[in-house]
Structure 1
Amino acid sequence: MTMQACECYDPLVKGLLATGVRNHADFASALAALMGRKLGDHSVAVSALSELVAEAYRADPSIVYASAADLVAIRERDPACPDFVTPFLFFKGYHAVQSYRVANWLWRAGRRHLALHLQSRASELFAVDIHPAARLGQRILFDHGTGIVVGETCIIEDDVSILQGVTLGGTGKHSGDRHPKVCRGVLIGAGAKVLGNIQLGEGAKVGAGSIVLENVPAFTTVVGNPARKVGTRHSGMPALTMDQILPPVDYII
Structure 2
Amino acid sequence: MQVLNQTTDFWLDLKKEAQSIANNEPLLASYIHACILTHHNFESSLSFILSNKVADDVMPALAIREVFDEAYLLEPAIVDSAIEDIKAVHERDAAVNNYLTPLLYFKGFQAVQVHRMANYLWKKGRHQLALFLQSRNSEAYGVDIHPAAQIGKGVMFDHATGIVIGETAVIEDYVSLLQSVTLGGTGNESGDRHPKVRQGVLVGAGAKILGNIEIGEGSKVGAGSVVLSDVPPHTTVVGVPAKVVGRPCCQRPCDSMRQNVLEDNGTLE
> Deviation per CA, 1:201-225, whole angstroms, max 9, x where unpaired?
0001000000000000000000000
> Does structure 2 retain, via aligned residues, the 8 Å contact 1:39–1:122?
yes
**Partners of 1:8 and 1:105 in 2: how far apart?**
37
1:22 match: 37
Residues 93 and 142, structure 1, Cα contact 8 Å, conserved in 2: yes
- 8 A contact 2:204–2:222 mirrored in 1: yes
TM alignment of 1:133-212, pairs within 5 A: 133-212=148-227
Q: Which has the higher helix share?
A: 2
Q: 1:56 corresponds to which letter in structure 2?
A: A
TM-aligned CA deviation for residue 232 of structure 1: 4.1
- Give, in whole Å, the separation in 2 of the partners of 1:248 and 1:203: 15
Once structures 1 and 2 are overlaid, which stretch shifts more, 104-113 or 9-18?
9-18
Partner of 2:93: 78
Question: Equivalences for 1:60-99 in 2 at 5 Å?
Answer: 60-99=75-114
* 1:220–1:234 Cα contact (<8 Å) kept: no
Aligned twin of 1:221:
236
Letter in 2 for 1:206: V
Distance apart, 1:42 and its partner CA: 2.1
Tell me, in whole angstroms, the C-alpha distance in 2 between the residues paired with 1:217 and 1:81: 32
Give 1:6 deviation, angstroms: 5.1
Structure 2 regions of 5+ residues with no counterpart?
Answer: 1-16, 265-269
Q: Which runs of 4+ in 1 moved over 6 A?
A: 2-5
**Aligned partners of 1:54 and 1:6: how far apart in 2?**
26
Q: What code does the residue aligned with 2:174 have?
A: D
Rounded to whole Å, the distance in 2 between the matches of 1:240 and 1:17 is 29
What code does the residue aligned with 1:201 have?
G
Does the 8 Å contact 2:215/2:230 carry over to 1? yes
Q: Structure 1: 5+ residue runs without aligned partners? A: none
Letter in 1 for 2:217: E
Aligned-partner Cα distance in 1 for 2:79–2:136: 21
- Asked if 1:129 corresponds to 2:144, the answer is yes
**Amino acid of the residue matched to residue 171 of structure 2?**
I
* Alignment match, 2:27: 12
CA RMSD, aligned part only?
1.6
Are 2:82 and 2:153, in contact at CA under 8 Å, matched by a contact in 1? yes
Contact 2:192-2:212 at 8 Å conserved across structures: yes
Residue matched to 1:49 = 64
Aligned length: 248
